[in-house]
Structure 1
């Protein structure tokens, strides 16, 4: 089975086009070699790919006949992603919150729109 179809079937990507784009950006490797979307994968292959700032490592256990449900994904792959990768993602999220907490500093564009909506609601109530 092609690598783009496999990663789509085991629900790592929403569309095959997203997998193709990741392959073109060299984010996907099979057995240590950069993979094109048409690269064939077989059971026992090691697939490494980067998605959402996490380098994921999986081993192909079996080839699915078509896209499978989320509960059946573990039959076709073994996830070997180190837990440090997920901890690193949590640290990145915390770092973003550190710079500006809600209610501090200039309002964001969304905050500004919410304020405008709030004030225009009161203006229309007074005119009626």
Structure 2
């Protein structure tokens, strides 16, 4: 793919597959979810090799380092060559740990939960999300 000298941040984030559409990338920039050195960026900001961006996409937080400019969208295997994911390990693990919460489902057709069912559900949630208490000696 040919590299350009001038490239907008919204187009770059779309091309490296951080966002599904260029419109979503532009909206993220406008909403302040794409930052360069802690400062918000506009969708028209020109990307330069070596810049570091902080991107918030839902609960996920990423820090990427631009290693090349990519004008057109390519497959994911090639897109990885144009940026370096330098997200700290602590942020990566906290995002993944969110998916280890219990999934509480009721069988279809069982109707509304009774007061007893609700109490059991609340107790299960409370015990799961509480931190283990330290023993006092």
Instruction: Tell me the TM-score normalized by structure 1.
Output: 0.72
Aligned length: 106
- Contact 2:12/2:71 (CA < 8 Å) preserved in 1? no
SS in 2 for 1:73: helix
Whose helix proportion is higher, 1 or 2?
1
Q: Name 2:20's counterpart in structure 1.
A: 14
Q: Is there any run of 5+ residues in structure 1 with no aligned partner, and where?
A: 108-128
SS at match of 1:12: coil
Where do 5+ consecutive residues of structure 2 fail to align?
1-6, 113-137
Q: Does 1:74 align with 2:98?
A: no
What is the distance in 2 between the residues matched to 1:50 and 1:77? 16
1:47 aligns with 2:57: no
Q: CA deviation at 1:30?
A: 1.6
Is this contact kept in 1: 2:11–2:71, CA < 8 A?
no
Closer/same/farther in 2, CA of residues 106 and 3 from structure 1, 3 Å limit: farther
Deviations along 1:27-53, one digit per CA (max 9) or x if unpaired, are 001232210101111000001110131
Matched, 1:2 2:8: yes
Match in the other structure for 2:36: 30
Counting only pairs closer than 5 Å after superposition, residues 52-71 of structure 1 correspond to structure 2 as 52-71=58-77
Runs of 4+ in structure 1 displaced over 6 angstroms?
A: none
